């Protein structure tokens, strides 16, 4: 395998990864819109006079549907936001090594924040 073939293979893999990240950015935006609409309608328009309290949150989180909605909000929001930061950073830092470092840092931040958010969500569910 010559140098040109290896470079072409690496480019194809990077193109596939770029496509999937582009595609998932669009999927996460649609997911965010759908989940946020559900969240906003249920919390603010079903009973607009109701106060949102921690006790009500505990009751709401006893429903599997709300656990799913909150988890999806966390996941879609994190992916969409961090992938957007990655895309902007790639505009400013064209070197492959820098891009890899940026992607790695954002991946670690995303995983840590998701695990932290899931931990908080589980504690809220168990506290209710």
- pLDDT at residue number 11: 54
The Cα–Cα gap between 62 and 90 comes to 42
- pLDDT at residue number 10: 47
Question: Nearest-5° angle of CA 20, CA 114, CA 52?
Answer: 120
Task: Answer yes or no: is pLDDT of 7 > 60.
Answer: no
Q: 15-33, pLDDT tens digit by residue?
A: 788 889 999 999 999 999 9
The rounded mean pLDDT for the chain is: 87
Query: Can you list the domains of the chain with their CATH numbers?
Result: 3-127 (1.20.1300.10)
Q: Residues 93-106: what's their mean pLDDT?
A: 95
């Amino acid at each position: 395998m010559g140098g040109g073939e290896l470079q072409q293979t690496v480019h194809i893999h990077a193109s596939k990864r770029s496509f999937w990240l582009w595609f998932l950015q669009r999927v996460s935006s649609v997911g965010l819109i759908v989940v946020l609409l559900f969240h906003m309608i249920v919390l603010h328009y079903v009973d607009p006079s109701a106060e949102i309290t921690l006790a009500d949150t505990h009751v709401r989180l006893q429903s599997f549907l709300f656990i799913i909605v909150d988890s999806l909000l966390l996941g879609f929001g994190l992916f969409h936001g961090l992938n957007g930061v990655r895309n902007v950073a790639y505009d400013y830092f064209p070197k492959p090594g820098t891009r890899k470092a940026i992607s790695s840092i954002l991946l670690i931040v995303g995983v840590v924040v998701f695990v932290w958010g899931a931990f908080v969500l589980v504690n809220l569910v168990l506290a209710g």
